[in-house]
Amino acid sequence: MRDPYDVLGVPRSAEAAAIKSAYRRLAKKLHPDANKNDPKAAQRFGELNTAYEILSDGSKRKAFDRGEIDAEGKPRFQGFEGFRQQPGARGFGQAEDFETTFPGGGAFRREAPARADLAASRTFSRACSAEQGAGAPASSSSRMISARRPAAATSRCR
């Protein structure tokens, strides 16, 4: 739908009397009974009524001017509730806020294991696979092997 000010042909600074006068003039001109041969007359008249409904009500007109409602009077998307920044409030935009809320930087901050630990882990994993393939009993549950644990001399495959 078009802008209500354009539909009524009035400027944004128009007074209530000018809006009412423009509406009455156009209502007589665009009424479907006065335009029986025009198939779009009812649509234009409905658009005129919606525009007048918005501009004649002071609160709806202010909401439209602020961009809170569209030309049909429906509310526009203003963002998700709770994500709007309150005046004076600080969000998680600053790193110190995150560190204050989650001390230690979170659970996923880990140092990379040393090269020797990785090599020992691969050797341990291959040894377990070979043992299980050679007839050692395999358990039904799989177990994660830590990359930081050095390989043990005894078999721990399950």
Q: What percent of the chain has pLDDT over 70?
A: 51
Segment among 43-57, 63-77, 92-106 with least mean pLDDT: 92-106
Which has the higher per-residue pLDDT, 156 or 68?
68
Domains of the chain: which residue ranges? Answer: 4-66, 114-132+146-152
Q: Do 60 and 69 meet the contact criterion of CB atoms below 8 Å apart?
A: yes
Amino acid at site 79: G
* Range 133-148 burial, b when 16+ CB lie within 10 A, else e: eeeeeeeeeeeeeeee
Across residues 86-93, what is the average pLDDT?
Answer: 54
pTM higher than 0.75, yes or no? no
Query: Which CATH architecture group holds 4-66?
Result: Orthogonal Bundle (1.10)
Q: What percent of the chain has pLDDT over 90?
A: 40
Across residues 6-31, what is the average pLDDT?
Answer: 95
Q: Where are the alpha helices (DSSP H) in the chain?
A: 4-8, 16-30, 41-56, 58-66, 95-101, 115-133
With 90 as the cut, is the pLDDT of residue 102 above it?
no
